[in-house]
Amino acid sequence: MHKRDESLKKIFSQRLKKLEELPQIDENKSISSILDEEGISRRDFMKWAGAMTAFLGLSSTFTPTVAKAAKLADRLPVIWLHMAECTGCSESLIRTATPTIDSLIFDYISLDYHETIMAAAGWQAEENLENSIKKYKGRYIMMTEGGIPTGNGGNFLTIGGHGKTGEDIVRDTAEGAAAIFAIGTCSSFGGIQAANPNPTSAMPLSKVINKPVINVPGCPPSAKNIVGTLLHFILFGTLPALDAFNRPKWAYGHRIHDLCYRRGHFDAGEFVEQFGDENAKNGYCLYKVGCKGPYTFNNCGTQRFNQHTSWPIQAGHGCIGCSEPDFWDTMGPYEEPVADHLYESVFGGLGADATADKIGAGLLTVTAIGIAAHAAISTVKKPKE
């Protein structure tokens, strides 16, 4: 462990040194000055850095390095594109008046182009995009929200006064990007518009461009996953360890099932038989009312949503598998367990015995059988009226 830390430290300090040499995006402002402006004390900032360090799976000795990297985020411009989407990803990331530090940093680096929240509009906005791409060529981070419609020559989505198709915009923007992130399930996997029969031939970002794309899926994705991915790029300077679906392993390496606070009930065979029953009131496992937690890789149970307020399972509804590819077609019906389907028919015939690392289908092996067994055990318990 110690040796690994040593080599990581070396990588980081080299990387940070390189970043320090780059000019700031805005001469008059740095992240440090903005933090001062907003009244964020150094202590609060270090607390946040500590949490982020743990979140990224690094030992606590890296906290100062993470803090420094976060401050260097002002050297990396971000261009955020909207494709065929609902804007839920941006809404999810929204900032607050006492900004969470993630959103504050993001606010600063989300500079020149973000269709929903930028100040510019009309021709000026399109000019800004073209100028940013030129000015920061090779340095900017491209973040995309939304699937790319490719049907009808790409004309199911045109943006701006020139009527450029979404497809062309992502291709052109990708050329000069230092890193490309697909934010949300739509951009990562095609999303809801790609669900059968996919009327507009919507595609994931990675299928439309031929540069490496990091997928940060979820519908919506957790704000922390988005910012953490950015921070990871700053630190490593290369793509983080990714799973078979190009999702960062530090965020998507565990199943919802593995991190779920109701897991004890699953293991004890205590299930909600129907919504609103006594078992639901006791917070039992939601597998039998359709929770797809065992088949879904994400960290919702720990990071939660809306500033750690809650997440679907805490509110009593099972996971719908929204960070998995094609979940619109494979995870439904959402209030019925997958065990009720034929295993062979799931995931294009690959069945229940594959894992995300092997061939990309996200089901468990032994646990898949165990789930069915658990469910069978509890059928003898009748729900109370």
Partner 1 sequence: MSLSVTKEIIEKIEGEAQLELEWQNGKVKNSKVKFFSYRGMEEIIQGRHPLDALVLTPRVCGICGHAQLMATVHALEDVYRNCGIKLELSQKAKALRDLTLDCEIIQNHLKWYFFIILPILYRFEGKIFPKDKTFKALNAAVKANKIIATFAGQWPHNSYMIPGGVVCDPTYVEVYQAKSYIDEVISFFEEEIVKSDIESIIHMKNMKDLLQNDGFLKESIEIMQSNDLSHLGKSHDRFIAFGENSIFERGKAIKTVAKGVHQRYIKEESLDFTYAKNVTYNGKFYEVGPLARAMIASNPLAKSLHRAYKDSVLNRIILKVMEIAYLAYQVRETLQSIDISEKSFIKPKVKIETLESEGDGFTEAARGSLYHSIKVKEGKIEFYNIITPTQWNLGNATKEDELSTISQALKGLKNENEISLIFRSFDECSVCTTH
Applying the rule CB under 8 A, the residues between 333 and 352 that interact with partner 1 are: 333-335
Nearer to partner 1, 63 or 144 (CB): 144
Q: Which of 217, 312, 337, 362 binds partner 1 (CB under 8 A)?
A: 312
Shortest distance, CB of residue 339 to partner 1, whole angstroms? 16
- Please name which of 236, 230, 233 lies closest in space to residue 109, comparing C-alpha atoms: 230
DSSP assignment of 29-60: --HHHHHHHTT--HHHHHHHHHHHHHHTT--G
Question: 242 Cβ partners below 8 Å, 6+ apart?
Answer: 214, 248, 249
Shortest distance, CB of residue 104 to partner 1, whole angstroms? 10
What is the DSSP-derived secondary structure letter of residue 321? Answer: -
Total binding residues for partner 1 by CB under 8 A?
74
Q: Which of 269, 316, 351, 370 binds partner 1 (CB under 8 A)?
A: 316
Nearer to partner 1, 316 or 360 (CB): 316
Nearer to partner 1, 4 or 281 (CB): 281
Is 28 a binder of partner 1 (CB under 8 A)?
Answer: no
Question: 227 Cβ partners below 8 Å, 6+ apart?
Answer: 102, 103, 105, 106
Compose the 152-171 pattern: x for residues touching partner 1 by CB under 8 A, - for all others. Answer: ---xxxxxxx-x--x-----
Is 182 a binder of partner 1 (CB under 8 A)?
Answer: no
Q: Which of 32, 116, 238, 345 binds partner 1 (CB under 8 A)?
A: 116
Nearer to partner 1, 149 or 293 (CB): 149
Is 149 a binder of partner 1 (CB under 8 A)?
Answer: yes
Q: Which of 6, 28, 43, 315 binds partner 1 (CB under 8 A)?
A: 315
Phi, psi dihedral angles at 297 (to 5 degrees) = -105, 115
Q: What letters, b where the CB count within 10 A reaches 16 and e where it falls short, cover 224-243?
A: bbbbbbbbbbbbbbebbebb
Compose the 123-142 pattern: x for residues touching partner 1 by CB under 8 A, - for all others. Answer: x-xx----------------
Is 93 a binder of partner 1 (CB under 8 A)?
Answer: no
Question: 14 Cβ partners below 8 Å, 6+ apart?
Answer: none
Nearer to partner 1, 335 or 353 (CB): 335
Q: How far apart are CA 83 and CA 277, in angstroms?
A: 42
Q: Which of 313, 338, 346, 371 binds partner 1 (CB under 8 A)?
A: 313
Place of tokens 């389907």: 341
Phi, psi dihedral angles at 215 (to 5 degrees) = -95, 130
Site for partner 1, residues 268 to 307, rule: CB under 8 A = 274-276, 280-281, 283, 304-307
Tokens of 54: 């743990």
What is the DSSP-derived secondary structure letter of residue 140? Answer: E
Q: What letters, b where the CB count within 10 A reaches 16 and e where it falls short, cover 85-108?
A: bbebbbebbeeeeebbbbbbbbbb
Nearer to partner 1, 294 or 301 (CB): 301
